[in-house]
Chain A
Amino acid sequence: MSEVESNRVSFHGRGGAGNGKPAAAPKSQSAGRHIAIYGKGGIGKSTTTSNISAALAEAGYKVIQIGCDPKSDSTNTLRGNHYLPTVLDSVRGGNKVHLADISATGFKGILCIESGGPVPGVGCAGRGINAAVTLLQELKLFEEFKPDYVLYDVLGDVVCGGFAVPIRDGITDRAYVVTSSDFMAIYAANNLFKAVNKYAPTGGARLGGIIGNGLSAAYSNAIIDDFAARTGVPVAGYVPRALVVSQSELYGKTVIEANPGSEHAGIYRELARHIAENDKLVIPQPLGVGDLRDWARDWGDRVFNLENGAERAAA
């Protein structure tokens, strides 16, 4: 009438309790270092994240990159632009989701996943990201893959509570923000700082630093340095705007893969090394709305003078 296994006793024969689906999985960082990368839309989060992943994988680490953006293009350059069904696509399909269906192995064994999202204008993308990450945990992704690094490429401004979930609920313990020296990008970075500042004291993620990207003007680094100093955040690295980035993207590759010997590959490797080793995490001091505007106007004057000065010197 009964079967006794190591820690299961079945009074009722076949099947028994073992058929139960696990009800909920712990939200824990079971393995590896979990890093969230935020920034304004189009600022270069996916490009930067993918190159960091590629550099880490190249250095021999096991890496997972999870695109947390309904745009679902985070891992394109790690996988030669091939189509990858998103987590939420398969949730929408309604069938049981298997890890194999929603992940692809990219450059040097990087496990690529896209959370996906609802159709624009419908549903709740913030909730979608949260549900996708929870599902990945339930599927025991981290226990099974045993990554050294997990990178979350998270959409844009912190627009609503849902998008703050990766830094709030202990999914990641550190966040980086990608920004250019443009005001709107810095504005978005400042918004993220507000969210980190709010949640860090109660166990949310802290900030690892700012990644300056797409920098072209002579004064760009100085603007970022000044913003970093005022908010008490270190700068993790500067990535200049360069053709090699766009070119590699067109090949469906990261710079690390397409142009491993280029200067930019070196920049991304250095950035990856810094992020991998950095344990100095801070709680940022975001600027108030008025202060941010004053700060920007101040830089407007300085940049104007710089440009004019440069012109006059050239003449």
Chain B
Amino acid sequence: MGNIRNPRAGCALHGALATLEAIEGVVPIVQANAGCAMQHALAYRDRGGYTVAQTVPSSNIIDKQVIFGGGSRLREQIKNTVKVMDGRLYVVVGSCECAMVGDDLIGMAREAAEQGLQVIGSNIAGFHGDIHRGYTRVFLDLIDALPELETVRGLREKGGERPLVNLFGLFPGGDPYYKGDLEELRRILEAIGLRVNSFFGPGGHAALRTLSDAALNLVFSRWGETIAARLEKKYGTPQLIFDAAPLGIEEVSLFAQALVERLDLDATGAERFLEREEVLAEYFLLGAANRYFDEGAGKRAAIVGDSETVLRIGGFLSRFAAVDIRTAIYTDCGEEDALPVDFGGAAHATGDGGEIADLLCGSGADLIFASSLETEVARELGVPLLTVSHPVHDRMIGDRTYAGLRGAVALGADYLTLARQGRRAAAEKLARKLAAG
């Protein structure tokens, strides 16, 4: 994947850091030169709604540690970090240079754990790939290392009344709305009779400790597949893999139905919940139909983002708002990957800002669903933009979700808002033309 202009994702270390910082109770310790952690902090500052640690403990290694190995510097860093940073689990993460010189982070973490500290290690290096791979790898390392810690061992609390499910594949840096999206999925899953580990958000550390108790692992993007496979191998936990998080009543019904079948849940309870949710959606979107036929119908759009985001949001728009998706750009697919769906238009795989801008210019879209990096090209085209993919800096995200049932209401409302902006922009453009002509 060539990223010549405006790469939208940092390196694997940044993915690991974004993931770890978003798990409550977890403190990462970076074994790297000062630039790695600094870049991460700068890249995530001012992103609407990410969990960014104020402080990133980093060993800030220099030439000497590269030549002789960074073991003793790291030992010191671990010792000092646990004194000043309040965490329930410390995760040592690596970097390009310490992978090159072979610093044994897992061994160092083990040494600290033997002294009773809650430390585990992840041999991640920036060059392992972009943030997506960082999420996957650090989770795999957590899964492998966690059982070694005393506090985690023997914490099986199997046989709780309601089955537990783990959620994988939605994460900071992949889905900018991950907080709201995961909480919405949790709300739905709890309503149909399940307990949920989403890892991100309150109770994150506890979720890590009970990860092996799950009755089923739910995967919502390709980046969670290896994680679920590892858990299946290690604990025999079965998995259910979705191509995206569900959005809208139809997908959520199908989602619920799949879970009811797999986990033998109370079907009528789930049905009753969904019926009520449908009524609520109609209530919230009262009047939307009229406005849709006035302003929102017959739109052409372009969408840019990770496969999960494009499938979820593009799928919803094309099915429920009959939006004609002319161009779908997948930012987390390699050139060799088979592209998921083209929505009847053109599908492309690229993360390159320049290439994306060119594709958007030629798309003929009335509306653009993309990231904040597309702000400029959208402005040039005079087409309104809704920021649905990473990075988002134009809005504070809060609990905003574009997943599940509430996400459908939110996207429906935002779509109509965008369509009105587009109509106004088009009218202004026309007025300018007439005045000039």
Q: Does chain B have a CB within 8 A of A26?
A: yes
Q: How far is the CA of A161 from the CA of B68 in the complex (A)?
A: 10
Q: Which stretch from A15-23, A109-117, A293-301, A305-313 is at the chain B interface? A: A15-23
Is the C-beta of B100 less than 8 angstroms from some C-beta in chain A? yes
- Which residue of chain B has the shortest Cβ distance to A163 in the bound complex? B102
Candidates A9, A13, A164, A204; contact of B242 at CB < 8 Å: A9
A218 close to B (CB within 8 Å): no
A23 to B134, CA, bound (A): 9
Q: How far is it, in angstroms, between the C-alpha of A223 and the C-alpha of B240 when the chains are bound? A: 61
A161-B242 in contact (CB<8A): no
CB of A199 within 8 Å of the partner chain: yes
- Please classify how large the interface on chain B is, using the bins under 10, 10 to 19, 20 to 34, 35 or more: 35 or more
Question: What residues of chain B lie closer than 8 Å to A169, measured between beta carbons?
Answer: 106, 123
* Residue A96 lies at the interface, judged by CB distance under 8 Å to chain B: yes
- The distance in angstroms between the C-alpha atoms of A10 and B312, with both chains bound, is 11
Is B118 located at the chain interface by the 8 A CB criterion?
Answer: no
B319: chain A residues within 8 A (beta carbon): 1
Residues of A within 8 A of B107 (CB): 168, 199, 201-204
In the complex, what residues of B have CB within 8 A of residue A24's CB? 128, 133, 136-137, 140, 226
Q: Which of B101, B221, B243, B333 contacts A11 (CB 8 A)?
A: B243
Shortest C-beta distance, A117 to chain B (Å), equals 14
Chain A residue at minimum C-beta to C-beta distance from B69: A161
Residues of chain B within 8 A (CB-CB) of A203 are 106-107, 110
Contacts of B341 in A (CB 8 A): 12-15
Given contacts A9-B258, A12-B243, A202-B111, contact A17 B221 (CB under 8 A): yes
Q: Known contacts A15-B338, A19-B337, A20-B337; is A202 also within 8 Å of B106 by CB? A: yes
Partner of B315, one of A9, A12, A161: A12
Interface string of B19-58 (1 = CB under 8 A from A): 0000000000000000000000000000000000000000
Q: Does any Cβ of A come within 8 Å of B223's Cβ?
A: yes
B78 at interface, CB cutoff 8 A: no
Provide the residues of chain A in CB contact with B222, threshold 8 Å. 17, 19-21, 23
Q: Cβ of B106: which chain A residues have Cβ within 8 Å of it? A: 169, 202-203
Cβ contacts under 8 Å, B100 to chain A: 124, 126-127, 161-162
Q: What is the distance, in angstroms, from A124's C-beta to the closest C-beta of chain B?
A: 6
B251 adjacent to chain A (CB < 8 Å): yes
Scoring B residues 227 to 256 as 1 if CB is less than 8 Å from chain A, else 0, what string do you get?
001100100001111111010001100110
B340 touches A16 (CB 8 A): yes
- Residues of B close to A23: CB separation below 8 A: 129, 132-133, 136-137, 222-223, 225-226
Contacts of A162 in B (CB 8 A): 100-102
Contacts of A161 in B (CB 8 A): 69, 100-104
Does A211 touch B at the CB level, under 8 Å? Answer: no
Confirm or deny: B263 has a beta carbon within 8 angstroms of a beta carbon on chain A.
no
Q: What's the Cα separation between A12 and B319 when bound, in Å?
A: 10
What is the CA–CA distance of A214 and B101 in the complex, to the nearest angstrom? 33
CB neighbours of A229 from chain B (8 A): none
Which residues of B pack against A, CB within 8 Å?
69, 99-104, 106-107, 110-111, 123, 128-129, 132-133, 136-137, 140, 144, 219, 221-223, 225-226, 229-230, 233, 238-244, 246, 250-251, 254-255, 258, 307, 311-312, 315, 319, 333-334, 336-341
Enumerate chain A interface residues (CB-CB to B < 8 A). Answer: 1-2, 4, 7-26, 96, 124, 126-127, 130, 160-165, 168-169, 198-199, 201-204
**A–B Cβ pairs within 8 angstroms, 18 of them:** A7-B239, A11-B242, A14-B341, A15-B338, A15-B339, A16-B311, A17-B222, A17-B242, A19-B339, A20-B221, A20-B225, A21-B336, A161-B103, A162-B101, A169-B106, A199-B104, A202-B104, A202-B110
